[in-house]
Amino acid sequence: MDNCKVTTLSNGVKIVSEFIPYLKSFSLGFWFNIGARDENLKNNGISHFIEHMLFKGTKSRSAKQISDEIESYGGYLNAFTSKEHTCYYGRGLSDNFKKTFVVLSDMIQNPLFKDSHIKKEAGVVIDELKDIDDNPEELIFDKFEESVFSGHTLSYPIIGTEKNILSYNSSTLHQFHKATYRLDNLMIAVSGAIPHEEAVALAEKYFTSKKTTSNQKRKNFVKQTVSNEIIEKEIQQVHSIIGRTTYGFNDLRRHKLKVLSTLLGDGSSSRLFQEVREKLGMTYQINTFLNSYEDVSVFGVYFSTNEKQTDKVNEIVNREFNKLRTTEIKSKELNRVKEYIKGNTLMSLENTTNRMIRLANSIYHYGKVVPIEDILNKIDAVTVEDVLKLSKEVLNESTLSKIVICSKDNSIKKAA
């Protein structure tokens, strides 16, 4: 990939870029290798809270000045926190790349963390937490990971707890920021009409601190937990996930798992969508998911339906699992799934932000920018035998966990 380059500065800052000369815009991401899995019970949620706080002003810019400086040129600024990373990113026209770079570099290096701002933002984040709690479609995924990752920091919700959110102050935030927002923990990813040398020059100018290092290492996930849980909420539908932990980014079998997951429940041609929604009209939403981390993934089936139809939907899901465990799929179906994955992958790369995210994830998980052709070739290489072998392992009923969110008077609870 001649248009992709990687440079590491003497202070540890890594710059990865992809030059796309025919565009007039860019996406720029400042990534820190820090997330919920790097926290503890007392500070869980602090990575996400700091992400919010970095938009509240620096020593030289107020919160309004931060947004005005970017938006007055038609640009866009945002951020997200995951269980493994925190990313601050901006989009804009190429002529305004330096402006966006300068604002982001100021935000991540010089946060104010004023107690008055912290108190106010705590209310905002608690409101966000309650929105999640009110939304079973979102809550169930947090609860499922809490269950299957039990005993490991991957079980922690990204947003944290209300108690923790209310406990943060200027001192705790500055301390965590200093320990984790180190230059050797920073990756700058750029996609668009920006020469690599321009990004490197700006990084050298605006990140001048000396290198600091930490011996902090992540604890790998090793324990497979199987559990069943029912959560009561005042809702009309029954929401359910059936799934397990499996191969992470560091395992090549993850590509085979992607094919299996897609065949089973991704898109309206998938088996579960056809059997449950199209043929029987029993659910509005049913799909598989694959949430991947460095050393482990969470794979499963999510659906929502009414109480009377829940048992029938579960029966069909288990029936489809059994079919995949016992019968080889037709090569025609496998080829359709592969083309679907490849098409979605290539179309997603028409967006510079997706490309920027792919660059960063590629460096984090593989230590280099993996050409997209390599990924597509791995998908193409999956065989009928691979899918059967993987199904026997991953869709083994004795290894699957189940979580249900339903109303208090639901008969599912009585049957359980």
Contacts of 324 (CB under 8 A, 6+ apart): 260, 263, 264, 387, 388, 391, 395
Q: Are 191 and 352 in contact (CB under 8 A)?
A: yes
CA distance 397 to 391: 11
As to burial, measured by CB atoms within 10 angstroms (0-12 exposed, 13-18 middle, 19+ buried), residue 171 is: exposed
Instruction: For helices 310-326 and 384-394, give the axis angle rounded to 10 degrees.
Output: 130
CA distance 269 to 272: 9
Q: Is 307 a catalytic residue?
A: no
Which one, of 32, 37, 19, lies nearest residue 107 by Cα?
32
Q: 18, 39, 51, 84: which is the annotated catalytic residue? A: 51
Q: Which long-range contacts (CB under 8 A, 24 or more apart) does 8-12 make?
A: 9/183, 9/200, 9/203, 9/204, 9/207, 10/211, 11/183, 11/184, 11/207, 11/208, 11/209, 11/210, 11/211, 12/182, 12/183, 12/184, 12/185, 12/186, 12/211, 12/212, 12/213
CA distance 176 to 112: 13
Q: Are 224 and 401 in contact (CB under 8 A)?
A: no
Indicate which residues carry an active-site annotation: 51
